[in-house]
Amino acid sequence: MINKLLTCLLLGLCYQFAHAQPVTWIQGARYAGLANASVADSTIGNVSGNPAGIAGIGRPQVLLSYESRFRIEELSTRALAFVFPYQRQVFGWNVNFYGTDSYNEQLVSLNYARRFSERFSAGIRFNYHGLKIPEYTSQTAWSVAAGIQFKLLHNLAAGLQVSNPNQASFDRDLQARLPVFGEIGLLYAFSGKFIAVAAVQKAVGYRPDLKTGLEYRIHRLLAVRGGISTEPFKQYFGLGLSYRQWMMDMAASSHPILGFSPQVSLGYEF
Amino acid sequence: MGLRILRYTIVSISLAALCLNCLGQDPVDPLIEQVLESLPEEEKEQFDLVEFTGLLNDYLAHPLNLNTATAGELGSLLILNELQVQAILEHRELSGPFRNVLELQSVDRLDLPLVRKLLPFVTVSEEQKEPPGLGGQAGLSHEVLLRYSGILNSRKGYRDPPSYAGGPGRVLARYRITGSDLSFNLTLGKDPGESFFSSGQGFDSYSANLFLQDKGYLKKLVAGDYLLQFGQGVALWNGYSSNMGPAVLGVARQEAGIKPFRSSDESYFFRGAAATLEWGTVELTPFFSYKKLDAALEPDGEREWVSTIRRSGLHRTEGEIAGKHRLGETVAGIHLGVRPSRLFTAGATAYTTRFDKPLKRGEAPYQLFDFSGDELNLLAVNYQFGRRNYFLFGEVAHSLGSGSAFVNGILFSPAPFVSLAAAYRNYQKNYHAFYASPIGQQAAAGNERGWYMAADFRILDRWGLSLSADAFTFPWLRYRVNAPSNGYQLFSQLEYRPGKETLFYFRYRKRNHPAYRQTHIRFHTEYRLSRQVRLKNRVEYTSRRQEVRNQGFLAYQDVSWSIPPGRFHLDVRGAFFNTDDYYTRIYAYENDVLYASSFAFYYDKGTKFYLSGRWKVNRMLDCWLRYELLRFFDRDTIGSGDEEIEGSHRSDVRIQLRIKL
């Protein structure tokens, strides 16, 4: 009984404040420090972002991430991602778990991206969504996402992504919609050490969200990041450590009312 | 009463006839205007541009020597942010003294438009600053300024029977003596409605000070009225302060220490004496002040306590006159500063404020943490540390017996022509400081927390992009806000300068406040049409949602006409405005006589027209004249209460004379 109550409360909460990002999956702590404005960038975090965004990866990589949303354990996400390049193609696989025993969402996706030329790449992703509330319901749904990226100048890149254009969702009586959105963005590298990213995301039923982030590599081993998004207004901070093939990132976003959501990722490049 | 107005009007019109060719302004006034336009507009109550325009005009007359200027002097121009100041000092250290002002172009982080803005205020020379002497003994210069302002329409408070004690004119008289290391200033003022000589009292407000500097160990000494600025303003700072405005990196302040007081504001200054003594890298500033404030008092048995302190300086009606100078305030304290290297400065401030009658807080819940009592003691510590491409700053203060406040921040330049700023502030709800003015959303320091982030990009000497975001929280209740609240503010400005005197900019501002949401959009252009004529256009729109949605709109066209070489100058403006209510009012900078330029606000529906001119008669005498006509649509009266005017239009006139010896 209490579980049901808690579940309804959580669902209610999620819906109410879901004018936060309408997604429960995460893109890794590096992008979390950049306001998730990843659409024009090309690193492993994009296995849950712009499908074309993994096309630039040269070596197999794995990424393990954990986010504690608003520091509430029941609202945490755990994710594991893996990318594998082969000739001009890159394959990506990722799995996200969100929630606890009484309410959880799973996402498993397969990503395929290809570099068509020096300047242009495209990708597509198939998502399997699962939603489980014990003793109440257990549902699945499929959705698709596609994206492209192109290099405008040697230090300026642009990206475009659409997610779930077919508006797949769970059973109608569940009132749990899978987000449908489009996103467009830019990446500008001022120097080898300092980049700026910006993106606008428009999800159906929400106002357009402008996200911007900056990353500065202080040192070969350390980078700092910061960002802002406008719908709702949130601030992001992050730190990245890299040592040889290892990468560890930490980030937190601050919602004005709900508080901090820390995220941490550990990655390895083979 | 009517006769007096008539007399004043006749005098003004004859002077106007005389000065009808009154066109004259230094060609560098547009530069002062540009600097002022980068200041935040919707100001906290006691905003007085006089001090700042006075400073800029002084630097025009006696430019700052780049080879001897301190970080404080360079920062006081408000044209440079802290990173740029550090870049100039570093260039001086590494490449030796400047040989020519144009060398500024080779300094890191100063792009061409910025150098152009800075040039009129700086110079390069081996010698000490020269006194301006045109005559006068021992290199002293004398300046007398007389100003009269009046509204030509009659207001209710002046008609029979008058509720105001005096006439409707505003008078300002100022006498200044300036030397290379001393200055003396005397300011006399009368506000509209205050009595003037007829009741034997003369002017309503008097202010004077004598200021000495650079006498061996005595770096500064002031007797009379003065201002103090220390640290980041969390504990003690009066006078102008940069805040989160269009100059997005202005959050890092550069303290000025003691400043002689020169404006006509009647309450935010200190009256007494202060000195700065310097030994090597240590500096000590003891200060003392005693002055009388206007206050409304309530009796409580045998004693009286203060219900309100009035800071407007108006003494027109019986009630205002009765409250004049009823409260004695004593302030005394000391500031210690150390500068172990150019890069690192630290300081500590301790001072006490005592009243001769106690203040009592109100009883509403939002006033629960307000100050009460007759004594307030403050302690603060500040620091700043700058290196090649970053600058750290901060201050922590504690009001003994109540709360604390602090601000810490960083300015950082990760790539050429990109500068970032971040600052975190936390002023507890029970922190009190009457003379503090730190960065924040409110006028006073206390009951506020916030994170501020900003970025500034300068590209190719032509484009500029400034962005800032501030997320703030008010931990306790406020007037008409019944719970702790929060909000955020976004600012962005894109500017394009294709030529030396051409500017286009687009500004977008959004404020999400607990009680309302407001957006401002502005588009502004400036260009020089010919050697004699400059044009400016602006269009601004604001939209506010409080329970309903209201809008405001302003458009104006400015024409500036100079006859070179700077003898006559005229600024003309025609503006049209249409705002739904007072909250959707729009602020804009207006040209005025010297030292009187300000930000005026436009609200309701109507048009405004003004002419502001200067005639440089000869080396000794300058005269200014300004006439303004404000017309409202759909109105029978303007203003309310004693300030009410019959009719739908209002005319203002202002005349100023300056004699320099």
The Cα B16–Cα B13 span in angstroms is 5
What is the value of pTM for the model shown? Answer: 0.82
Query: Tokens 């159906």 correspond to what residue?
Result: A204
As a whole number of Å, the end-to-end CA separation of chain A is: 48
- pLDDT tens for B66-116 read 888 888 888 888 788 888 888 888 888 888 888 888 888 888 888 888 888
Residue A256 in contact with partner chain B when CB distance is under 8 A: yes
The pLDDT of residue B131: 46
Of residues B130 and B34, more confidence is placed in B34
Average pLDDT over residues A226-245: 92
Interface contact A192, partner B, CB < 8 A: no
Q: Tokens 């700072």, residue?
A: B237
Q: How many helices (H) and strands (E) does chain A have?
A: 2, 14
**Of B315, B76, B340, B82, which is closest to residue B189 (Cα–Cα)?**
B315
CB contact under 8 A, A191 and B486: no
Residue B476 contacts residue B501 (beta carbons within 8 Å): no
Q: Judge: B414–A226 Cβ closer than 8 Å, yes or no.
A: no
pLDDT tier for residue B45 given thresholds of 50, 70 and 90:
very low
B414 and A254 in contact by Cβ < 8 A?
no
3-state secondary structure B309-376: EECCCCCCCHHHHHCCCCEEEEEEEEEEEECCCCCEEEEEEEEEEEEEEEECCCCCHHHCCCCCEEEE
Could you report the per-residue pLDDT of A3-38, keeping only the tens digit for each?
Answer: 444 444 444 444 333 344 567 789 999 999 999 999
Per the rule left: phi > 0, alpha: psi between -120 and 50, beta: everything else, B259 is: beta
CB contact under 8 A, B418 and A226: no
Q: Compute the distance between CA of residue A186 and CA of residue A195 in angstroms, rounded to an integer.
A: 11
Contacts of A230 in chain B (CB under 8 A): 490
C-alpha to C-alpha distance for B578 and B639, rounded to whole angstroms = 17
Least CA distance to A190: which residue of chain B?
B415
Distance from CA of B418 to the nearest CA of A (A): 9
Given pLDDT bands bounded at 50, 70 and 90, which one contains residue B21? very low
Which residues of A fall within a CB distance of 8 Å from B467?
212
Residue A241 has pLDDT above 70, yes or no: yes
DSSP states of B121-167: GEE--SSPPPP--SSSGGG-EEEEEEEEEEESS-BGGGSSSPSSSS-
| Dihedral angle, C-alpha A215, A216, A222, A225, nearest 10 ° | -30
> Is a pLDDT exceeding 80 seen at residue B346?
yes
The SS3 assignment for A11 reads: helix
Please say whether the beta carbons of A92 and A107 come within 8 A.
no
pLDDT, average across residues B350-354: 95
Residues 6+ apart with CB under 8 A from B566: B24, B25, B26, B27, B616
Q: Which residue has the tokens 């495209």?
A: A122
Q: Where does A69-208 show beta strands of DSSP type E?
A: 76-86, 89-99, 104-115, 120-133, 137-153, 156-163, 181-189, 194-203
Check CB contact under 8 Å for A233 and B473.
no
Region B628-652 average pLDDT: 86
**DSSP letter for each residue of B613-634:** EEEE-SSSEEEEEEEEEEEESS
Contacts across the A-B interface (CB distance below 8 Å): 38
The verdict on A191 touching B (C-beta cutoff 8 Å) is yes
Q: Is B578 in contact with B32 (CB distance < 8 Å)?
A: no
CA B365 and chain centroid, separation: 33
CB-nearest to A256 from B414, B455, B488 is B488
User: Residue B305: its pLDDT value, please?
Assistant: 85
Cβ atoms of A196 and A214 closer than 8 Å:
yes
Q: Tell me the CA distances in angstroms from A96 to A27, A109, B623, one per residue in order.
A: 10, 9, 75
Q: Are B420 and B409 in contact (CB under 8 A)?
A: no
Q: Is the distance from CB of B209 to CB of B227 less than 8 angstroms?
A: no
Of the listed ranges B121-135, B154-168, B434-448, the least confidently predicted one is: B121-135
pLDDT of residue A62: 95
Which pLDDT score, from 0 to 100, does residue B29 have?
A: 64
What ipTM was assigned to the predicted interfaces of this complex? 0.73
Residues listed for chain B: 661
Please give the structure tokens belonging to residue A188. Answer: 């500008």
Is A153 in CB contact (< 8 Å) with chain B?
A: no
pLDDT score for B199 = 56
Q: Which of A194, A230, A233 sits opposite B418 (nearest CB)?
A: A194
- Let me know how long chain A is: 270
Classify B118 as helix, strand or coil: helix
Q: What is the pLDDT of residues B220-258, one digit of tens each?
A: 999 999 999 999 999 999 887 778 878 888 888 888 899
Which of left, alpha, beta for B500 (phi over 0: left; psi -120 to 50: alpha)? alpha
A210 at the B interface (CB within 8 A)?
no
Residue A83 has pLDDT above 90, yes or no: yes
Beta strands B64-65 and B122-123, pairing class: parallel
